[in-house]
Amino acid sequence: MPHKTEDLLIGLRAGNRAALARAITLVENNTPGTGDLLQAISSAVGQALVVGFTGAPGAGKSTLVGAYVKELRRRGKSVGVIAVDPSSPLSGGAVLGDRIRMSEHADDPEVFVRSLASRGHLGGLSRSAAHVIDVMDAFGKDVIVLETVGAGQSEVEVADIADVKIVVCAPGLGDDIQAIKAGILEIADILVVNKADNPLAERTARQLEARTTGSANRKIPVLKTIAVEGEGLEALAEAIETAHALQGSSQKEKERPRKLLKTTTLEFLGSQLDQKDPAFDKLAEMLAGGEISFEEAAREALLLSARRS
């Protein structure tokens, strides 16, 4: 193992925040040494509770995350926060900085905040988010909060890494609730109607309840919060604990590695897929000529990329 990685490990074990920051940068960029570090910390991973917040832009996710962190601190938990923005190519950029609302916790040594942004690789963001979670987990954070901006497919994929997934909605979304269209409700363990100071909140909560009580064995709690006032946060923290307890530890242990394997495989195949390969051109031609279906072409392309690796 390189000296640098060993130094990082010593720093991490000593609870050094600068070492944590450097270890995160290392795994985020997948710098050589990442594998060694992840291997070395693997036995210390799996203790933290990972809570994901996702939902439509402006629903109040960041404010809610800030209020939840406050509630966690009240309960004596140490916290890691990861804000993920798949739409932004910047890492830790100003855009994201404005979108997370953590200034209140800036001086608290028990709260560590980090932003992650897209590097344009399919599955890449999920991979780096999962590795950053592992590093914070091994560092000893009790709870790691993951906030994703927006509600598209990649956000769902990232949010899916969390043990407990929370979908935040704003009041008055009407019938075509944005979150439902993006397939985001399916991953929710808890639904939150934030901005409950708005009179439409009650109706939105009832609409969501009507949509999610379909199957008897999966009754998803619908909670109301006023994030700006810190209202409803105790109930939310309790609901998160309950959802987590219901999951059981064996499921949790297997889930994260499985999801990570899937996204890493996708990322790997994507990076191996050479679109300048004449065989790829040929497939595209056959597709254009209607000689093969998209499924057949994709299957062939998959084989091509697997052969290259």
Nearest residue to Mg ion by CB is 62
Window contacting Mg ion (CB under 5 A); options: 57-65, 137-145, 221-229, 232-240: 57-65
Residues from 78 through 107 that contact Mg ion (CB under 5 A): 99
Within 10 Å of residue 235's Cβ, how many Cβ atoms?
A: 15
Contact between 168 and 60 (Cβ < 8 Å): yes
* Site for ligand GTP contains 174 (CB under 6 A): no
Residues from 60 through 79 that contact Mg ion (CB under 5 A): 61-62
Least CB distance from residue 82 to Mg ion, whole Å? 12
- Dihedral angle computed from the Cα positions of residues 23, 24, 28 and 33, in that order, rounded to the nearest 10 degrees: 10
Least CB distance from residue 155 to ligand GTP, whole Å? 10
When the beta carbons of 34 and 154 are compared against ligand GTP, the nearer one is 154
When the beta carbons of 71 and 137 are compared against ligand GTP, the nearer one is 71
Number of amino acids touching Mg ion (CB under 5 A): 3
Enumerate helices (H) and strands (E) in the chain, giving the number of each. 13, 7
Output the CA torsion sign for 199, 204, 207, 212.
negative
Residues from 93 through 132 that contact ligand GTP (CB under 6 A): 99, 101
When the beta carbons of 34 and 115 are compared against Mg ion, the nearer one is 115
Among 177, 192, 222, 226, binds ligand GTP (CB under 6 A): 226
Window contacting ligand GTP (CB under 6 A); options: 6-14, 21-29, 110-118, 225-233: 225-233
The amino acid that residue 271 corresponds to is S
Among 59, 138, 156, 179, binds ligand GTP (CB under 6 A): 59
Q: Partners of 145 in the beta sheet? A: 51, 81
Output the CA torsion sign for 208, 209, 211, 217.
positive
- Which one, of 24, 21, 29, 23, lies nearest residue 4 by Cα? 23
When the beta carbons of 61 and 165 are compared against ligand GTP, the nearer one is 61
CA 275 – CA 284 distance, rounded (Å)? 10
When the beta carbons of 58 and 89 are compared against ligand GTP, the nearer one is 58
* Site for Mg ion contains 212 (CB under 5 A): no
Contact between 236 and 190 (Cβ < 8 Å): yes
Contact between 146 and 82 (Cβ < 8 Å): yes
When the beta carbons of 97 and 140 are compared against ligand GTP, the nearer one is 97
Which x/- pattern over 183-212 shows residues binding ligand GTP (rule: CB under 6 A)? -----------xx-x---------------
> Residue with structure tokens 């499985």?
258
Residues with Cβ within 8 Å of residue 190, at least 6 apart in sequence? 164, 165, 166, 167, 220, 221, 223, 236, 239, 240, 243
When the beta carbons of 11 and 66 are compared against ligand GTP, the nearer one is 66
CA 287 – CA 19 distance, rounded (Å)? 51
When the beta carbons of 61 and 141 are compared against Mg ion, the nearer one is 61
Residues at the site binding ligand GTP, with contacts judged by CB under 6 A: 57-63, 99, 101, 149, 194-195, 197, 226-228
Residues at the site binding Mg ion, with contacts judged by CB under 5 A: 61-62, 99
